[in-house]
Structure 1
């Protein structure tokens, strides 16, 4: 397993430690989990934005009423 080091102010470290304690995690677990979650959220938003841009260019959506007619309901 690798080690990553980053600098924090004492206030930032104290805040992070309190949040780690609150969540029942070590400081290392909290940092790793939150960093990875944030990066995954970034990827999700980037994917969403790209797909929405494609959707706007070629919108093939239909209304609920049109879908009901199409399905014969």
Structure 2
């Protein structure tokens, strides 16, 4: 397993330790899971934005009222 080191202020360290304790995990586990979750969220947001851009460029959707008219309802 690899090690990554980063610097934080004493206040940030105290906060992180408190949050790790609150969640019942080590500070390493807290940092690892929160960092990975954040990066995965960023990927999800990027994928969503790209999909929405593609959808808007090729949008062929119609309103509920238009669909009812087409179906003769």
Structure 1 length as normaliser, TM-score? 0.86
CA distance in 2 between partners of 1:26 and 1:64 (Å): 52
| Aligned counterpart, 2:42 | 42
Unmatched 5+ residue regions in structure 1? none
CA distance in 1 between partners of 2:60 and 2:23 (Å): 44
CA distances 1:11-70 after superposition (whole Å, capped 9, x unpaired): 000000000000001000000000000000000000000000011100022334528x66
Unmatched 5+ residue regions in structure 2? none
Aligned CA RMSD, in angstroms, stands at: 2.0
User: How many aligned residue pairs are there?
Assistant: 72
Moved over 4 A (4+): none
